[in-house]
């Protein structure tokens, strides 16, 4: 995440006394500089309150894109902590710094040429075997992914297990920043999940049947009917739809099966 500091409009109000507020302010240090920010704010909101403007990489603000990786330390604690700035709330006297894009090796490949063989990963990322199993990567993951275990699965050729273990990876790169072997773990995991989804995962038969039905024009008439409806008619049809009960089992079907 890339930010730039700017003077707050509050500070530019010449000759004005700061307004009284019921919000409790706490001290935090952003890249070495002390600020007073509202308690309960996320790190990202606190930085904006302090006058920082996000010019690149603020991302989704929902904890899914991995663009706002943050490293911080709390007073009296030797341990370096990691978090996503859009998720972690500020604590008094915490020292914060942002992690910009971390430069790592990303293999170039034509996915259509790849198979499900473990050698595909080995060939593209031979540095995989530089892993010394120190587990620093797992400790740096804000998502709680067992990064070292997923890497171990790749090393023994178990792409399916690596894809499963790394499913929550959001590619923030914090694991790579702490890796002694200088691995690009998150790029390896992305490759594993792609191979698993395209080459290993068993295809659902009902999905193939549905695709075939669509290609044969089974739903053309229904779609044309819907497209010719007025907005009010569509809204009413939507309100009257049969909703799947919360307690429904896996084999539940609506009474009207025209759309199946």
- In whole angstroms, how far apart are CA 11 and each of 31, 44, 50, 201, 219? 20, 20, 10, 57, 62
Residues 89 and 122 in one domain: no
Q: What pLDDT does 92 receive?
A: 96
Residue 40 counted as domain residue: yes
Domain extent at residue 23:
2-98
Residue 221 counted as domain residue: no
Residues 8 and 52 in one domain: yes
Residues 49 and 71 in one domain: yes
Residues 131 and 92 in one domain: no
Judged on CB neighbours under 10 Å (0-12, 13-18, 19+), 73 is middle
Residue 150 counted as domain residue: yes
63 phi-psi bin (left φ>0, alpha ψ -120 to 50, beta other): left
Q: Which stretches within the chain are classed as H helix?
A: 9-12, 43-50, 118-124, 136-139, 147-155, 159-165, 174-177, 185-195, 205-215, 220-227, 231-239
- Containing 245, the helix (H) or strand (E) segment is none
Q: What pLDDT does 21 receive?
A: 57
Residue 169 counted as domain residue: yes
Residues of the chain with pLDDT under 50: 10-14
57 phi-psi bin (left φ>0, alpha ψ -120 to 50, beta other): left
Residues 30 and 74 in one domain: yes
**Over the stretch 155-211, which tens digit does the pLDDT of each residue have?**
999 999 999 999 999 999 999 999 999 999 999 999 999 999 999 999 888 888 999
Burial pattern 156-177, b for ≥16 Cβ within 10 A else e, equals eebbebbbebbeebbbbbbbbb
- Domain edge (last residue) among 98, 125, 141: 98
121 near 128, Cβ under 8 Å? yes
Residues 56 and 129 in one domain: no
Report the percentage of the chain scoring pLDDT > 70. Answer: 92
Residue 243 counted as domain residue: no
- Domain edge (last residue) among 36, 70, 98: 98
How many separate domains does the chain show?
2
Residue 26 counted as domain residue: yes
Q: Supply 38's token pair.
A: 């509202």
Residue 222 counted as domain residue: no
Q: What pLDDT does 259 receive?
A: 78
Of the candidates 242, 234, 235, 239, which has an alpha carbon nearest to the alpha carbon of residue 259? 242
- Domain edge (last residue) among 49, 68, 98: 98
Q: What pLDDT does 34 receive?
A: 97
Q: What pLDDT does 4 receive?
A: 62
Whole-angstrom distance, CA of residue 133 vs CA of residue 147: 10
Of the candidates 150, 155, 140, 158, which has an alpha carbon nearest to the alpha carbon of residue 196? 158
**Over the stretch 118-136, which tens digit does the pLDDT of each residue have?**
999 999 999 999 999 999 9
What is the CATH classification number for the domain harbouring 25?
3.10.20
Q: Collect all residues with Cβ–Cβ distance below 8 Å to 38 and sequence separation of at least 6.
A: 23, 24, 25, 26, 46, 49
Question: Can you tell me which residue has the tokens 């008439």?
Answer: 221
């Amino acid at each position: 995440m890339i930010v730039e500091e700017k003077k707050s409009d509050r500070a530019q109000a010449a000759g004005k006394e700061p307004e009284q507020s019921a919000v409790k302010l706490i001290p935090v240090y952003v890249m070495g500089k002390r600020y007073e920010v509202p308690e309960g704010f996320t790190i990202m909101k606190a930085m904006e309150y302090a006058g920082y403007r996000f010019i690149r990489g603020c991302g989704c603000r929902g904890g899914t894109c991995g663009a706002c990786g943050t490293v911080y330390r709390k007073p009296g604690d030797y341990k370096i902590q990691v978090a996503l700035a859009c998720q972690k709330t500020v604590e008094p006297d915490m020292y914060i710094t942002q992690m910009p894009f971390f430069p790592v090796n990303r293999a170039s490949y034509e996915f259509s040429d790849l198979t499900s063989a473990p050698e595909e990963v080995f060939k593209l990322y031979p540095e995989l075997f530089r892993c010394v199993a120190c587990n620093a990567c797992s400790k740096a993951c804000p998502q709680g992914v067992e990064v070292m275990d997923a890497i171990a699965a790749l090393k023994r050729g178990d792409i399916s297990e690596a894809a499963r273990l790394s499913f929550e990876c959001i590619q923030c790169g914090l694991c790579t920043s702490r890796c002694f072997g200088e691995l690009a773990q998150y790029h390896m995991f992305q490759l594993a999940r792609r191979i698993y989804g395209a080459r290993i995962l068993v295809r659902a038969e009902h999905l193939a049947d549905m695709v075939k039905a669509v290609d044969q024009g089974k739903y053309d008439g229904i779609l044309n009917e819907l497209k010719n409806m007025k907005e009010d008619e569509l809204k009413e049809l939507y309100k009257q739809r049969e909703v799947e009960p919360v307690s429904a089992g896996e084999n539940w079907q609506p009474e009207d099966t025209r759309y199946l």
